[in-house]
Each structure stands twice: as structure tokens, then as C-alpha cells.
């Protein structure tokens, strides 16, 4: 599944509910999921950790849907040419500093 396909799937599954909840309510749910991911990173088994990563990504897609942002296009625009600052892959930003 691509990022664009995920975003569309989340829209199909939850779009009506998400738009009623709005950005503020959805952002609170997103932050709760980030907290659960934080806890799983510290002590959770790998299957729990994977589920929390999926939840955070799904809630991020939800926020993007509500805000009218195409995540696939946004990521390609920002990172498609390499590092946004030094425009190389891999990034050499820190290597260039004395």
C-alpha cells in the first residue's frame, strides 16, 4: 500500500466521522496515539509497537485529509530531491559544518 493509497483508505473508512470531529479533536486523538507509540517504544513487544506505528500513521493521514493535504505530494515535494537543506542523498548537512 502506498502513502496515497493509505490516505484514501482512511478517507473511505472514517472520512465522515473525521470531518465531523474536526482538526482540533482529531489532533488530540493523534497526540494520544503518539503517546501510546512512545510507551511502546520503551517497553512494548514488537507486534504492539508495529500496531502503534500504524495507528500514528493512520491518524496523521486523517489530519491530512481534514486539512486537504495530499501526503504523497507533500512528501515528494519536500524530500523527493534528497535532503531539503543540502539536496543530497544521504544528507551531508552535519558533515559540512566544522
CB-count exposure of residue 52 (10 Å: 0-12, 13-18, 19+):
buried
Q: DSSP letter at 90?
A: S
| pLDDT score of 97 | 56
Q: Specify the residue for cell string 466521522.
A: 17
Question: What does pTM read for this prediction?
Answer: 0.89
Give all domains of the chain, ordered by start, each with its CATH number: 3-96 (1.10.287.1080)
72, 3 Cβ separation under 8 angstroms: yes
* pLDDT one digit per residue (tens) for the chain, 98 residues: 999 999 999 999 999 999 999 999 999 999 999 999 999 999 989 999 999 999 999 999 999 999 999 999 999 999 999 999 999 999 999 875 55
Amino acid at each position: 500500500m502506498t502513502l496515497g493509497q493509505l490516505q484514501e483508505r482512511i478517507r473511505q473508512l472514517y472520512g465522515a466521522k473525521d470531518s465531523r470531529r474536526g482538526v482540533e479533536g482529531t489532533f488530540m486523538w493523534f497526540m494520544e496515539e503518539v503517546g501510546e507509540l512512545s510507551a511502546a517504544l520503551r517497553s512494548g513487544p514488537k507486534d504492539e509497537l508495529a500496531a502503534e506505528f500504524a495507528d500514528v500513521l493512520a491518524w496523521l493521514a486523517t489530519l491530512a485529509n481534514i486539512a486537504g493535504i495530499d501526503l504523497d505530494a507533500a512528501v515528494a515535494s519536500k524530500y523527493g530531491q534528497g535532503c531539503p537543506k543540502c539536496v543530497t542523498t544521504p544528507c551531508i548537512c552535519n558533515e559540512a559544518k566544522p
